[in-house]
Structures are given as C-alpha cells and as structure tokens.
Amino acid sequence: MSKPERPVSLDSILQHQGFGTRRACRVLVHQGRVAVDGVVIDDPDATFLTEGLNFSVDGEPWVARAQVYLVLHKPVEVEVSRKPQHHLSVHALLPGPYNERGVQAAGRLDTDTSGILVLSDDGMFVHALTSPKREVAKTYEVTLVHPDDGDLVHRLRSGVQLRDEDEPTVAHSVVQVAPNRLQLVLTEGKYHQVKRMIAAAGNRVAWLHRSAIGAFRLPADLPAGKWRELTPAERESLFAEPPAPRRG
C-alpha cells in the first residue's frame, strides 16, 4: 500500500516544478507573485498537497505534477537537441520550468521530419519508450520522390540491407496509400532508418512525418510547434499496437 501524500512547503513545490532554486522560489512567494487556487500566498513555508495543485506564477496558470508527460507536434527545421547546431531547439518550444526540471525527448526526429514527439522527466518512462526490447511501434507517413508500382512495398516487407548492418532490416508493416505515398511502421530506432530503408529499396524520401507512436496518434487539434500533457490513458496507448493504416 502506497503512503499517503504529505503536504509540502510552497517553495519546495515551486523548486520541484522548475521555477528556480529554493531561494529564488522563496523570493517569488515573498513578492506576491504566486497564487494557489486564485489566492495570493506570501508565505513560502505554507504547505500544500503537491499532485494536481492549481497554482499560478505571475498570472500564468500551472498544475503541479510529480512528473510530467508531454506530447509535442514537432515542426520541420527544429532540432531535437539541447545544443542545436543550425536551427531552433525543440526545447525552445516548451515553457522554461519544464526544461529546468529536465524533460527529455523519448527518441529523436530529424531536423527535416515533422510529427509526434514525446517528452518527460520520468527517466524510466523514457527508457521504456525507447528500449529496443519493448519494440514500440512508430508510424511514419512517407512521400516518395518517385511514384512506386508496388515493388518498393514488397522490398520493404521482405527486408532491405542497410550499410553497416549484419542482417536485413524489415518493416513492421507498410501500406501504399498513393503512388508516391507510403505508411510505414517500424519497431526499431536506427539512425535515419526510414530514409536509409527507402534508399536501399531504390527510391528517396521527399517528405517524412511521424503520425503515431504505438496506438496514440498525433492529435489532429495540436498545431505544429504546440504541446500538451498526455493523459494516463494516452501514456498507456503509446505501448499498444499501432492504429490501422489510413489508405488513400
């Protein structure tokens, strides 16, 4: 049986939620910049139950979480790195407190690839989502440079030989949705895997978008560059079988 949650001082809550050092958080409270359930609190030693606590800092509303789980619609020309080399970092799309508390991406997307990206400060969750042993399915929408007559699909299903790989790499599933469009599902996370597989099968990728992880599709109402929290049910669906292919 889990122990009941104990009240925690407001400055400690703010520190854990990524609003700075303990000292800086005490200053925020003393300055009257923090409210809990709409009531300004000026005592940093006031205690509250953390999980689900509704608070605001400088008028910006927040909900306290022991750990955060986010889905982000990654645009192109954004790097999944804390130290980007040529483009904006994906972390620049998140509020500062999330980065301060150490959220990390569960896997990567190339700079020129858009789509679903999951981030969390729960290390075990991130490891489970990226571990090769879990074989979590990732669904990609692929636009080809050259239209295909079906031979490409056959090669991807049968397995293609990638450079520096001992065994052929096989797609978990692949469906041709148009002459120049495929929906490809992989359960591995090799470097540039989709592009390398398409090239090895005799074509090239013109556009690439990751539309789902497991059974969780990128929400249709989440614009590029925006994020939201994942619900517990959505987190579980990340490890489930992928959705049925959408044929054109």
Active site residues: 110
User: In sequence order, what are the beta bridge partners of 141?
Assistant: 183, 209
Place of tokens 């980007």: 84
Q: Dihedral, CA atoms, 3, 5, 11, 17, nearest 10 degrees? A: 90
Tell the residue number behind the tokens 């959220």, with chain if given. Answer: 103
Residues in the chain: 248
**Within 13 Å and on the Cβ side, how many CA atoms surround 170?**
7
Whether 180 and 147 have beta carbons less than 8 Å apart is answered as yes
d(CA 113, CA 77): 8
Nearest-angstrom CA–CA distance, 41 and 21: 18
